[in-house]
Each structure stands twice: as C-alpha cells, then as structure tokens.
Amino acid sequence: MEHKRKLIYTTNLPIRWGDMDAMNHVNNTAYFRYMEQARIEWFESLGYDTGQHAKEGPVIVNASCTFLVPFVYPGDVEVRMYLGQPGRSSLPTHYEMRRADDDTLYAHGDAKIVWIDPASGRSIPLPDSMRELAL
C-alpha cells in the first residue's frame, strides 16, 4: 500500500530583496531557507526545542529542490509542508512553494529528517507523537 503525503503545515514568508541574485530572481539557496523556516515553525508549533540545548531532536540528512518558476521580489512565498511514511528514526518531508497570491507551483522540495540524540550523534527512534502525525 502506497503511503500518501499528508499536509501538516502551511506558512507565508516574505521574499526579501536580499534573496535576489545577479540573474534578477530569488537565488536557489533561498528556497532551502524557505523550506527550513517552515520546518522550524512546525517543530516549534508542536513544542519541540530546536535550540542547542535540546536533549533529542531532528537533523536533516539530505535535501533537494526542483525549481519550476523563478520567484522575484516583492511578494510572499506560501510553503506547504507534507509528511511521508515514517521510518524507525526518519521522517520524509515534502514541500510545495507558491506565491501567496498565485496557485502556480513555483518549486517543490524534499528533506529527510532523522531523529538523533545530540550527545551521541546517533539516530534514535522517532517519538510516538511524531510518528502519529504522519499516519
């Protein structure tokens, strides 16, 4: 049975003038920051400590982005975050990015989260509460 992606979080982020590059569109690195900001906001909305003193938490082991239509300043990016099928210690996340005023898909991306113990740097099982969110 194929696991469907589950929409879990949506946020709107401003396109900053400094996100633009010499090609007069948003630089590719900014798209990763948009995805990161959505992910951090989602974790914080659930009450997870994303700071340096967390006893356990997420790290990203890979990330990708497909650029379809360039964003340009000014405007807002709507980032929709989805969860995929959780593993023992991992959780795939998927992102869709659009202008807040346009339903056109501008980019989509993925990032694999692995839950770790920062003291050992080793993976640990996903918390049950996190796993349940994906199902």
- Note the pLDDT of residue 3: 60
pTM of the full structure? 0.92
- Note the pLDDT of residue 134: 84
- Note the pLDDT of residue 40: 95
- Note the pLDDT of residue 1: 44
Long-range contacts formed by 21-27: CB under 8 A, 24+ apart: 23/70, 24/72, 25/70, 25/71, 25/72, 26/70, 26/71, 26/72, 26/73
Q: What is the mean pLDDT of each run of 10 residues along the chain (135 residues)?
A: 80 97 96 97 88 84 98 98 95 97 97 94 93 86
CA–CA dist 26, 114 (Å, integer): 29
Q: Where are the domains of the chain?
A: 6-134
Which letter does DSSP use for residue 134 in this model?
H
Q: Tell me, which fold does domain 6-134 have in CATH?
A: Thiol Ester Dehydrase; Chain A (3.10.129)
